[in-house]
Amino acid sequence: MQVTLKKSISNGSIDNVVVLCNSLSVLDNCPISNEEIKYIGDNLPSAGAKLYVFNRLGYFTMVCYYNSSDKALETHQTLRTEAKKLHGILVENNISEVSVVGSEGVSADDFLAYSEALILSSYTFDKYKTKKGAKLDNITLVSETIQQGDIDKLMNTCSSVFACRDWVNEPIAELNAETFANVLQEHCNGLEIKTTVLNQQQIEALGMGGILAVNKGSQDEARFVVLEWNPGNAVNTQPIALVGKGIMYDTGGLNIKTGTYMNDMKSDMAGAATVAATMVAVAKNKLPISVVALLPLTDNRPNGNAYAAGDIIRMYDKTTVEVINTDAEGRMVLADAIAYAQNYNPQLIIDVATLTGAAQNAIGKVGMVGMHRDAEQEMAELKNSGEQVYERIAEFPFWSEYDEWIKSDVADLRNTSKVPNAGMITAGKFLAHFAKSPFIHLDIAGVAFYNDNSTMYGVGGTAFGVRLLYNYLKNKCENK
């Protein structure tokens, strides 16, 4: 994707152009006729936005008219939705290049929200297709209020989102724990991200029983990846730790998944991909904040030596866990990573995971489930960032009663609840046991992978959470 910035566009342009405007008066200076302006005026949307398309028989001139709301965040989401519609029209008409013109009166934030969504909508995963479809390759942004630095930061974030989607969309046959660790090492090379990859023997030496237990049924070795971004001008003395679930493929283990539940399980490493992509965006845009990411990577297979219900596992921090269900493997690997994160004395731990079907059942595929312990202010800031980028968090309670549901009769904890309710909360409670620092748990099970093309996230891996975490960290820097 090539994105360039211009300050103006010729009125006689023969390019494919979309003019973003919120006032009819500015259209006099745009490449449309008086009759077309009158048509728009006679057909204005009562609310929201509307796209007007004028076919020039060789190129298109379009106008996206929107009503500015008192609530800027609602306006931004309206513009993102309209940008997705625009992308559909461009692809349908085999248009690979377009200019987006921000007319007078359009704020920089409105223009960037629309442009970002158009860029993100252009993502395709066609690596394995012999015949490629129509694709938007070049976008020219025309604005007097936007600076090149704004575009550079936007593209750095979008390219990180694209990387995350690529990683999630890759099949396990091409991207197992070892190859993903190598890909991350190569991707972070030159970004001043310190990358440490622990192999199977090192994981064993550390006594990471959760990762090792899940890995027992696999033909591939596990990996544990640590990414550190520690700039000299960091606003924090203690890092923020991001932990991502990296189950490269989940069969359910001996408690094997039934029906079609395995179809999208290459996406069970979306948490790790999200956290890694966030680190890349932070480094590319050189945010002055210290962050460490911890990624436990393995697949979960029902091999003859696989861990089984009834096993008791000794974790990295010496906690013992009774295995009730081998399909509750994500929390096993995350627990070791969260406990290991304490070595960095973090001010906050945030884990991101495709953890429970209960999360999706609770709120559907429109947002993520979140909960916290001793991190009320941080959760409020994270939820605010979620509203800003429209990757929203539904906060659930973390009451002490739930702790009783995960106590084992034969070990310290059990890996699933005694009670068949609130599974997303008890999973979070399990993880919170291993965190000594303030802790936030984000369950992205419903939003990590989509099977339809109705939003700017498209089909497949969504990278839902990358923009959220990046925005949260950026706000941390700006508010210091």
Amino acid letter, 93: N
Q: Classify 232 in phi/psi space as left (phi over 0), alpha (psi -120 to 50) or beta.
A: alpha
Interhelix angle for 466-478 vs 376-389, to 10°?
120
Task: Indicate which residue of 216, 301, 331, 414 is catalytic.
Answer: 331
257 catalytic? Reply is yes
Comparing CA positions, the residue from 45, 101, 104 lying closest to residue 78 is 45
Sort 173 into a burial class: Cβ within 10 Å, 0-12 / 13-18 / 19+. exposed
The helix (run of H) or strand (run of E) holding residue 242 is strand 240-244
Task: Indicate which residue of 257, 286, 314, 365 is catalytic.
Answer: 257
| Strands, E assignment, 49-201 | 49-55, 60-66, 97-102, 138-142, 194-198
Cα–Cα–Cα angle for 455, 93, 24, rounded to 5 degrees? 75
Q: 79-113 burial by CB neighbour count: b if 16+ within 10 A, else e?
A: bbbbbbebbeebbeeebeebbbbbbeebeeebbbb
58: helix, coil or strand? coil
331 catalytic? Reply is yes
CA-CA distance, 253 to 1, in Å (whole number)? 40
Tokens read off for 116: 């970002």
Catalytic residues: 257, 331
